[in-house]
Structure 1
Amino acid sequence: MSASPPVRTRVDRVTSASRPFIGEPLIDRCHADRDDPLANAARWADPGALLLSVGAHDEVAVLPGATPEDTVRLAPTPTSGERDDQRQLLIGVVQGRPWFITRDTPRAAAGQQIAPLRSLRLGPVAREIVWAGLAFLHWAESQPMCPSCHGTTRLTSGGPTRVCTACGREVFPRTDPAVISAVLDRQDRIALGRQPSWAPGRVSVLAGFVEAGEAAEHALVREVAEETGLRVTAARYLSSQPWPFPRSLMLGYVARAEGTISDGDHELDEARFYSRDQVRDLVAGGGLILPTPMSIARSMVDGWLDNRLPSPESGTDLSVPLSL
């Protein structure tokens, strides 16, 4: 038997998707009867039901594509036996098939491979399944105690809700908002930076968490200034993306900035502006590694390379404070 092609965890050529990053919801989250044990038992017993096993380091079994530009396909297994509703969590129904997720060592069948989720090039359906399922899984593992009385909580039959067995309080998943932006200068060059923990050459767009009581646009101005010393003057909202590593919601912008990149607060090991030709040449030569294909960061870079990003000046003017 010939060996299956390797899963690509690094993208060797700059490519871009022809469709928007976010579109119509693809998962029916079954809100009408999500916590009905009988309905969930029927979903688990459905002949088309699937269970996605995720390993300790967020790795899964996949069917790799034939070329680096191909998307890989998730390789779930059919549901079987009696469901453990504290470990086998309902994601929802996708294209008529119920999907569940569990923390268990994935096993690769013939032609399949095991690969880390965050490195994969997934299609829109698989992306949405992973975003929802992994977010539920991480939350379920990190919230075993009641925040009020510190009693033990149990997941409801469908989740994503925990109920305290002592005081009855309901506990819901937490999402941490963050801003992420394609920051452009007046020459339409893009700012890309590298964190100290990343491999040499790996870069991404600028991002940071929203603080309590802070508007997303204000967080964008603050984070860009802290990381690079640049002053954001305009921003336009693009799209959002759940990033379940472990529980972020990325709010994507394209922004215009003025000034010269400085060391900032040393969160980044390096940052600089790049032209489109520079990015293409450096990626082709192996000098730059762009963000993972599953990320909104990569979608932003691809959109900028293809001149598909809207003008930041068509969004919010951040050059002066609001008049009271």
Structure 2
Amino acid sequence: MRQDTSTLIGEPVIDRCHMDRDDPSANAARWTDPGARLLRIGRHGEAALAGDLSRLATESPAGRRDPQRQLLIGEVAGRPWFVTRADPVPGPGRRVAPLRQSDLPPAEREIVWAGLAALNWHESAPLCPRCHGVTEASQGGLSRICTACAAVVFPRTDPAVISAVLDDRDRIVLARQPSWEPGRVSVLAGFVEAGEAAEHALVREVGEETSLRVTAARYISSQPWPFPRSLMLGYVARAEGDIALSDHELAEAAHYSRDQVRDLTTAGTLILPAPMSIARSLVDGWLADRLPAPESGADLSTPLGPEIPDPSQP
């Protein structure tokens, strides 16, 4: 496990066009752009995927755009992208499949996350939280506007923590939820509660689910998970103690060595998370010994330095 003090930064793929995304003329030009793409996503999160489910199969926008149904995602490399809730169309070299099971390249993953999140939120927020009037999507789809009181409503995100939890032998904790098929496992995760720090949620969730005590943790990266509207905050953590399932959220959980994971997945008796998930990225990073040591993060449990002196004291 390598020690690492690097700083994480990510360059967004999508230009969300904040300067003019609510300008009807700008969006009309985007809709008729020869390079524009329209992504259809079905009611159950399915889309048309090409070949081995590794590329999106999209279409060119046609007809007059309905801003209530065809939402602007943004531009990728100058190409406008829109999303709509509609049955995807299979065809030669393309088939309809759940997006959760796809293995898309990074740029297309961002498009899917943004598109799904937008659709899910708009469908769940038809009423104004202030006056309970009817809301409608803004021209760009970034917000909703109340037709009664003109209040502007913005999307909400549910933060959740997810972590590769390791023991002192560098073994990872993998667990199965009761609703999953036998053999399917993932790393530990849970939602951040109101008024709770993400790091506190990590300690609490690991303790509640496995009785393990987290002794160190380091933030890795985040990932939107719009099923329906989560933002996953990824960590690597060290924990001590013996696993004891203390609630009904998990059917089983255990420590696994790298050799065990490789052997069991090769044999087909262990099924890892979907390739598009941050859970899989954490497991793959651990398998390749590329995760930083949890202890390499800053320790904020004690003061960082001497207190500021009181100027009234000699």
TM range (shorter): over 0.9
Distance (Å, rounded) in 2 between the aligned partners of 1:183 and 1:311: 11
> Structure 1 residue 273 and structure 2 residue 260: aligned?
no
Deviating above 2 A after TM superposition, structure 1's stretches of 4 or more consecutive aligned residues are 320-324
Distance (Å, rounded) in 2 between the aligned partners of 1:108 and 1:22: 37
Q: Structure 2: where are the runs of 5+ without partners?
A: 1-7, 308-314
> Structure 1 residue 123 and structure 2 residue 105: aligned?
yes
For residues 98-127 of structure 1, give each alpha carbon's deviation from its aligned partner in whole angstroms, at most 9, with x where no partner exists: 000000011112111111000101100110
Distance (Å, rounded) in 1 between the aligned partners of 2:246 and 2:176: 13
- Scaled by the length of structure 2, what TM-score is found? 0.92
Counterpart residue number, 2:310:
none
For residues 153-195 of structure 1, give each alpha carbon's deviation from its aligned partner in whole angstroms, at most 9, with x where no partner exists: 0110002100100011110000000000000000000000000
Distance (Å, rounded) in 1 between the aligned partners of 2:102 and 2:298: 34
Distance (Å, rounded) in 1 between the aligned partners of 2:69 and 2:198: 35
Distance (Å, rounded) in 1 between the aligned partners of 2:161 and 2:230: 10
SS at structure 2 position matched to 1:78:
coil
Counterpart residue number, 1:222:
204
Counterpart residue number, 1:53:
40
Report the CA distance shift for 1:269/1:198 in structure 2 as closer, same or farther (over 3 A). same
User: What amino acid sits opposite 1:42 in the alignment?
Assistant: A
Query: CA-atom RMSD, angstroms?
Result: 1.6
> Structure 1 residue 300 and structure 2 residue 254: aligned?
no
1:103-118 correspondence runs (5 A): 103-118=85-100
* Offset of residue 321 of structure 1: 6.8
Distance (Å, rounded) in 2 between the aligned partners of 1:47 and 1:141: 29
> Structure 1 residue 237 and structure 2 residue 219: aligned?
yes
Fraction of identical pairs, as percent: 70
Distance (Å, rounded) in 2 between the aligned partners of 1:154 and 1:60: 25
Report the CA distance shift for 1:219/1:273 in structure 2 as closer, same or farther (over 3 A). same
User: What amino acid sits opposite 2:74 in the alignment?
Assistant: G
Question: Is the contact made by 1:234 and 1:316 (CA closer than 8 Å) also made in structure 2?
Answer: no
1:136-147 correspondence runs (5 A): 136-147=118-129
Counterpart residue number, 1:154:
136
Counterpart residue number, 2:192:
210
Distance (Å, rounded) in 2 between the aligned partners of 1:160 and 1:255: 35
Counterpart residue number, 1:286:
268
Distance (Å, rounded) in 2 between the aligned partners of 1:120 and 1:212: 32
Distance (Å, rounded) in 2 between the aligned partners of 1:45 and 1:124: 26
Counterpart residue number, 1:9:
none
User: What amino acid sits opposite 2:28 in the alignment?
Assistant: A
User: What amino acid sits opposite 1:80 in the alignment?
Assistant: A
Which structure would you say has the larger Rg?
2
Distance (Å, rounded) in 2 between the aligned partners of 1:203 and 1:149: 44
* Offset of residue 266 of structure 1: 2.1
1:242-253 correspondence runs (5 A): 242-253=224-235
> Structure 1 residue 27 and structure 2 residue 14: aligned?
yes
User: How many pairs are equivalent?
Assistant: 298
For residues 60-115 of structure 1, give each alpha carbon's deviation from its aligned partner in whole angstroms, at most 9, with x where no partner exists: 001123xxxxx611001100000010000000001121000000011112111111
**Correspondent of 1:260 among 236, 242, 250:** 242
Distance (Å, rounded) in 2 between the aligned partners of 1:220 and 1:103: 34
Q: Structure 1: where are the runs of 5+ without partners?
A: 1-20, 66-70
Counterpart residue number, 2:312:
none
Counterpart residue number, 1:88:
70
> Structure 1 residue 310 and structure 2 residue 292: aligned?
yes
**Correspondent of 1:187 among 153, 165, 169:** 169
SS at structure 2 position matched to 1:203:
coil
